[in-house]
Amino acid sequence: MITGRCLCGGVRWSASKPASAVHHCHCGMCRRWTGAAFATLVWFPRSAVHWTGEPTVFRSSPIAVRTHCGLCGTPLSLGYDSRDDIAFAVGSLEDPQSVTPTHHYGVEGRLPWVDIGRDLPVRITKERW
């Protein structure tokens, strides 16, 4: 089981199945959501996820919602309306070293000074806003 939480501990999550993907996302929306140069996301089937506490939900685009803790502001999850999986910010994991990114996404937005995982495969963003 993989578990995570926000900074204050008011919202916790767990996944009862293994991650289906882990990647670094360089799109502008993920940068703004996390306040960082990129987001590292880990994906699980929605059916395997259990929440304790209520995250605040924000519709960040016509096709997706993001969650965060309403008290401390920690970014928690990203879910696309049309998909049966959900991504969590790796920074929210209790044991972040338990996952390893396998690729980069949204590389057209990668900042030139971001020097991480240079040998990983890259993918461009499918949707533009």
Domain ranges of the chain: 2-112
Q: What is the pLDDT of residues 3-39, one digit of tens each?
A: 999 999 999 999 999 999 999 999 999 999 999 999 9
Contact 4, 94 (CB under 8 A): yes
Which has the closest alpha carbon to 110: 99, 97, 91, 125? 125
2-112 topology per CATH = 2.170.150
Residue 118 pLDDT level (bands cut at 50, 70, 90): confident
pLDDT at 129: 45
Asked if pLDDT for residue 62 goes beyond 70, the answer is yes
Long-range contacts of 95-101 (CB under 8 A, 24+ apart): 95/2, 95/3, 98/2, 99/2, 99/19, 99/22, 99/42, 100/22, 101/22, 101/23, 101/24, 101/40
Q: Give the lowest-confidence range in 22-36, 55-69, 82-96, 112-126.
A: 112-126
Percentage of the chain with pLDDT > 90?
Answer: 92
